[in-house]
Structure 1
Amino acid sequence: MSEQRVRAGRTATIFAAMAALAIAAYQFLPDEMWWRTAWQVGVGWAGVAALLIGAHRLPRPERLPWWLFAAGVFSNSTGIAVADIAEAWYGLVDMPTPADPFFLGLYPTCAAALAILIRRRDARSDWAALVDAATITTGFGLLAWVYVIAPVNLGDSMDRLAHATQVAYPIGDLLLIPMTTRLLRAGGSRGAPFWWITGSLTAFLLGDSAWVVLDDMGDTGEALLEVPRFTTGLESVFLVGFVLFGVACLHQGAREMTAPADARPAGLGKGLLALLAGASLIAPAVLAAQTATGEVADGWSIAACSAVLFLLVVTRMALLIRHVERQADRVRELARSDELTGLPNRRAWNDELPRALERARRNSEPVAVAILDLDHFKRYNDTYGHPAGDQLLKAASAAWHAALRDVDVIARFGGEEFVVLLPAAGAGDARRAMTRALAATPLGQTFSDGPAVWDGVEDLRRVARTGRRGALRGEGGRS
């Protein structure tokens, strides 16, 4: 491990410890607004500083997503000070306040940062991931509509700008939910910075959801907000979100966040499956809750959401079935292919030989088979090593395949032994094919060959069962 990576790891650990102490100390601050305001803003700006310092250590092309995270955290944490100043000095508490643009600035900047990370980590289209994100967003979108957006009454004292501001918060959360889901479904490194970012986004979503629930609880929610320790704990959730971004950026694995994916992640883990199941059950749960109260006020919304979720689930099932079918085809292909040369293996040869002989019998055509055995292969292996021997087998098989006709089939029978099927070929055709193969053999190597032509009499089942030249008539030789 390089000295720079060690310093980065030490810096991230120190920052995380100091941030944890600051958040813990916040629980015991005096019940004075300016103390709490300064502390929250200070923690938020510390997260911004950590993001900027960590981004500065990265190569320039990798800095943009971290700068965007820093902009979002700075905007949101600064909004705390703006809100308190607007309330204390100017009595501005009704929406929209001067602080709302600062609070809302978190959502588009973080969404843009996530989009860049996802694009750089996994540029390939992943329809399954998109369907998963759409399913989760649709389910939680119904909650936002029923309990936040729809209850906004355009006929009350709030003007349209105030309505737009109130609705913008759940829309911002709905923007982050699919982006976070898509990040979790994307390929790429899943080291500590990945989970710190995920934890930070989760903290913001949980904090916003808690505020929505408290607002819907009416007087009970207001009473809970009057409890100092309860409010302090809720505000600490956002403080955790501020600092986790910084910890992720300072971590030594931050540069791996934008590295391209080497392989696809697993299709459906237990956590993702549980989240999808929960999102799909939101619509019936909302319907049951409204039915219990004796009034279904959002029947059309619930019906529309249920229809969309049903179609998304069906689409996801179709994609999963297609994926399984492709995997099964791949497994069958691998089972019939030689891993080293890519040629058909003995199993594929034993399947193809009886079919070729049957076609030859029906069409009254000759069919020839040849066995190729590289000369002195063991000595070559012992002299140059097994990797060189593998390269010889690959090069020879590719050269022989190119020298044969398109209708001919060459398979690796085992070790340095290969078999060739020559449809509609007589003894002369087989000999000429072997001559072309010998001329194409790389590295000045030679092979022993055994071409033969089927006599049209031997039992096909025996030929298929043995796969030996005993069912063929011809003479072998050395080329």
Structure 2
Amino acid sequence: MSEQRVRAGRPATVFAVVAALAITAYQFLPDHLWWRTAWQVGVGWAGVAALLAGAHRLPRPERLPWWLFAAGVFSNSTGIAVAHVAEAWYGLIDLPTPADPFFLGLYPACAGGLAVLIRRRDRRSDWAALVDAATITTGFGLLAWVYVISPVNLGDPMDRMAHATQVAYPIGDLLLIAMTTRLLRSGGSRGAPFWWITGSLTAFLIGDSAWVVLDNMGETGEALIGLRWFSTALESVFLVAFVLFGVACLHRGAREVAAPADARPAGLGKGLLALLAGASLIAPAVLAAQTATGQVEDGWSIAACSAVLFLLVVARMALLIRHVERQSDRVRELARSDELTGLPNRRAWNDELPRALERARRNSEPVAVAILDLDRFKQYNDTHGHPAGDQLLKAASAAWHSALRDVDVIARFGGEEFVVLLPAADVGDGLRAMDRALEATPLGQTFSAGLAVWDGVETSDELLKRADAALYAAKAAGRNRVEVAASGQPSSAAA
């Protein structure tokens, strides 16, 4: 690794080490509200500073997603201070508190940053990724509805704002789940900054989910929160989330996170398949859990979620089948096309010639075949180089294709050798076609050709063998000419 690369990676490493020490020290702080509050807010604001410093090193058009992440981290970490001040000085602990807008500000800001990254990484629509994100979000959305949102009585006007605030948190988490899943399904770089961002969002989701579980545990949850080591560890999850954003932005690969790339394949990897399967099984798992208690309270919600998941799975299968069909068509096309010239290759020619002879037999029409070979192509390659030789083959094949009729077929037989199928063409038609092709040959080059007209009896291999013999005769006669093969002694026609 060069000294320049080491220097470029040093800010992220230094910040990560300092932040890790700060989070470790947090575990041993005295049990004093203001000490702990100041430490949490300080770590959060340090993450914001790292985000702004890292974004400043990037070109201005690439700073927006990092600014949005910084806004979300600043809002959430500032909410810690606001919550403690509101509780300690004003006794405000009932929802909604003055801190809730700050805590909730994390979700739209981070979702906006993720949306910008996804849009820049995937310039084309990726419906498969969208369906995957919708499937996972729908599954977890049922959990949020059954265990968080549905139990809230939104009809009580006295507590409506409190309940709406309580519901806003799981909705925000679902938004982050959807955007994080979509980011994971995007194209582009998957270097360290990508995974630091993903890790930060995952930490936020783990922390929020832990609070929801503890709240549903009642007195047991309150007892766990009362344990200093447990609450400290849970708070540290959010501190890690604050820090990882900053590490990602300071990393030398931060610019690559938003770099555009081709859409990712629509295939299903093992990890993604397991995640989709797990999300799809949430509905029956919830139904089984409620059935075991003897009271199904959310039957309609479970049924609606199951229906949506079923439709999403069908849509994903349809997209996957369509992708496989496109890939199969592409493979078939590549198997029958020459990669350099784009003309049909030998495989396609071997399929087409017998069919052409059969059509000529049914219609009682003549058909001619010519084999063309660029003169002194090896010498041209040695003089000008192989790239120039490739350009000559491409230019010559395009020129010959334009000089032939629409019904004629030209294919690359191998190397500098090409074959031409001339339906409904006798000797005169074939010679005129070869004259036009010879005149169109670019870069002052010429070719030798052997022309054979089908006798109505011979096989395709025998017809090609006669054309090939005529080609060798043209080479032997001095090149830059066309030889016509006859059933007996071939005759010469100078081009």
Q: TM-score range by the shorter chain?
A: over 0.9
Report if the CA contact (8 A) 1:351-1:464 is conserved.
Answer: no
State the match for 1:417 in structure 2.
417
Q: In the aligned structure 1, how far is the partner of 2:494 from the partner of 2:300?
A: 82
Q: Does 1:63 align with 2:87?
A: no
| 1:186–1:465 distance in 2 versus 1, CA, 3 Å | farther
Report if the CA contact (8 A) 2:336-2:348 is conserved.
Answer: yes
Structure 1, residues 151-172: CA drift from partner, whole Å, max 9, x if none?
0023558521111111110111
What is the RMSD of the two structures over their aligned residues, measured on CA atoms? 1.9
Q: In the aligned structure 2, how far is the partner of 1:37 from the partner of 1:441?
A: 81
Report if the CA contact (8 A) 1:449-1:477 is conserved.
Answer: no
State the match for 1:110 in structure 2.
110
* SS of residue in 2 equivalent to 1:319: helix
Report deviation, 1:368: 1.2
Q: In the aligned structure 1, how far is the partner of 2:93 from the partner of 2:172?
A: 21
Equivalent runs, 1:188-227 vs 2, <5 Å: 188-227=188-227
Q: In the aligned structure 2, how far is the partner of 1:273 from the partner of 1:154?
A: 37
Q: In the aligned structure 1, how far is the partner of 2:464 from the partner of 2:212?
A: 72
- Range 432-441 or range 215-224, more displaced: 432-441
Q: In the aligned structure 1, how far is the partner of 2:210 from the partner of 2:8?
A: 35
Report if the CA contact (8 A) 1:448-1:477 is conserved.
Answer: no
State the match for 1:408 in structure 2.
408
Q: What is the TM-score when the length of structure 1 is the normalising length? A: 0.96
Q: In the aligned structure 1, how far is the partner of 2:465 from the partner of 2:264?
A: 42
State the match for 1:170 in structure 2.
170
Structure 1, residues 403-449: CA drift from partner, whole Å, max 9, x if none?
21222111110111000111122212111111111122111000001
State the match for 1:260 in structure 2.
260
| 1:464–1:129 distance in 2 versus 1, CA, 3 Å | farther
* SS of residue in 1 equivalent to 2:419: strand
Counterpart amino acid of residue 424 in structure 1 = A
* SS of residue in 2 equivalent to 1:442: coil
* SS of residue in 1 equivalent to 2:130: helix
| 1:354–1:201 distance in 2 versus 1, CA, 3 Å | same
Report if the CA contact (8 A) 2:148-2:212 is conserved.
Answer: yes
* SS of residue in 1 equivalent to 2:153: coil
- Range 442-451 or range 422-431, more displaced: 422-431
| 1:234–1:468 distance in 2 versus 1, CA, 3 Å | farther
Q: In the aligned structure 1, how far is the partner of 2:376 from the partner of 2:192?
A: 53
Report deviation, 1:31: 1.0
Report if the CA contact (8 A) 2:369-2:464 is conserved.
Answer: no
Q: In the aligned structure 2, how far is the partner of 1:465 from the partner of 1:354?
A: 11
Counterpart amino acid of residue 314 in structure 2 = V
Q: In the aligned structure 1, how far is the partner of 2:130 from the partner of 2:263?
A: 18
Report deviation, 1:282: 0.3
State the match for 1:26 in structure 2.
26
| 1:329–1:84 distance in 2 versus 1, CA, 3 Å | same
State the match for 1:296 in structure 2.
296
Report deviation, 1:469: 5.1
Q: What is the TM-score when the length of structure 2 is the normalising length? A: 0.93
State the match for 1:287 in structure 2.
287
Counterpart amino acid of residue 300 in structure 1 = W
Q: In the aligned structure 1, how far is the partner of 2:58 from the partner of 2:463?
A: 62
Equivalent runs, 1:358-437 vs 2, <5 Å: 358-437=358-437
Counterpart amino acid of residue 260 in structure 2 = P
Report deviation, 1:477: 6.1
Q: In the aligned structure 1, how far is the partner of 2:152 from the partner of 2:226?
A: 24
State the match for 2:148 in structure 1.
148
State the match for 2:475 in structure 1.
none
| 1:289–1:411 distance in 2 versus 1, CA, 3 Å | same
Q: In the aligned structure 2, how far is the partner of 1:162 from the partner of 1:420?
A: 80
| 1:124–1:2 distance in 2 versus 1, CA, 3 Å | farther
Q: In the aligned structure 2, how far is the partner of 1:166 from the partner of 1:466?
A: 84
| 1:303–1:38 distance in 2 versus 1, CA, 3 Å | same
State the match for 2:73 in structure 1.
73
Stretches of structure 2 that go unaligned for 5 or more consecutive residues are 471-483
Report deviation, 1:176: 1.1
Q: In the aligned structure 2, how far is the partner of 1:468 from the partner of 1:297?
A: 82
Report deviation, 1:75: 0.2
| 1:251–1:478 distance in 2 versus 1, CA, 3 Å | farther
% identity of equivalent residues: 85
Report if the CA contact (8 A) 1:454-1:473 is conserved.
Answer: no
Report deviation, 1:123: 1.4
Report deviation, 1:264: 2.5
Structure 1, residues 356-415: CA drift from partner, whole Å, max 9, x if none?
111111111111111110000111111111121111111111111122122211111011
Q: In the aligned structure 1, how far is the partner of 2:262 from the partner of 2:305?
A: 36
State the match for 1:52 in structure 2.
52
| 1:353–1:109 distance in 2 versus 1, CA, 3 Å | same
State the match for 1:17 in structure 2.
17
Q: In the aligned structure 2, how far is the partner of 1:369 from the partner of 1:207?
A: 75
- Range 426-435 or range 4-13, more displaced: 4-13
State the match for 2:87 in structure 1.
87
Report if the CA contact (8 A) 1:132-1:276 is conserved.
Answer: yes
Report if the CA contact (8 A) 1:6-1:252 is conserved.
Answer: no
State the match for 1:42 in structure 2.
42
State the match for 1:125 in structure 2.
125
Q: In the aligned structure 1, how far is the partner of 2:2 from the partner of 2:119?
A: 29
- Range 149-158 or range 17-26, more displaced: 149-158
Report deviation, 1:459: 3.9
Report if the CA contact (8 A) 1:207-1:234 is conserved.
Answer: yes
Stretches of structure 1 that go unaligned for 5 or more consecutive residues are none
* SS of residue in 1 equivalent to 2:267: coil
| 1:25–1:467 distance in 2 versus 1, CA, 3 Å | farther
Report if the CA contact (8 A) 2:374-2:417 is conserved.
Answer: yes
| 1:306–1:367 distance in 2 versus 1, CA, 3 Å | same
Q: In the aligned structure 2, how far is the partner of 1:85 from the partner of 1:265?
A: 50
* SS of residue in 1 equivalent to 2:443: helix
Q: In the aligned structure 2, how far is the partner of 1:468 from the partner of 1:152?
A: 86
Structure 1, residues 220-252: CA drift from partner, whole Å, max 9, x if none?
111110111111111111111101110110000
Counterpart amino acid of residue 308 in structure 1 = V
| 1:473–1:375 distance in 2 versus 1, CA, 3 Å | closer
Structure 1, residues 156-201: CA drift from partner, whole Å, max 9, x if none?
5852111111111011111111111111111111111111111111
| 1:66–1:459 distance in 2 versus 1, CA, 3 Å | same
Q: In the aligned structure 1, how far is the partner of 2:79 from the partner of 2:465?
A: 81
Counterpart amino acid of residue 109 in structure 2 = T
Counterpart amino acid of residue 396 in structure 1 = A
Q: In the aligned structure 1, how far is the partner of 2:466 from the partner of 2:276?
A: 52
Q: In the aligned structure 2, how far is the partner of 1:171 from the partner of 1:316?
A: 24
Structure 1, residues 18-72: CA drift from partner, whole Å, max 9, x if none?
1111111111111111111001100000000000000000000000000000000
| 1:263–1:77 distance in 2 versus 1, CA, 3 Å | same
* SS of residue in 2 equivalent to 1:450: strand
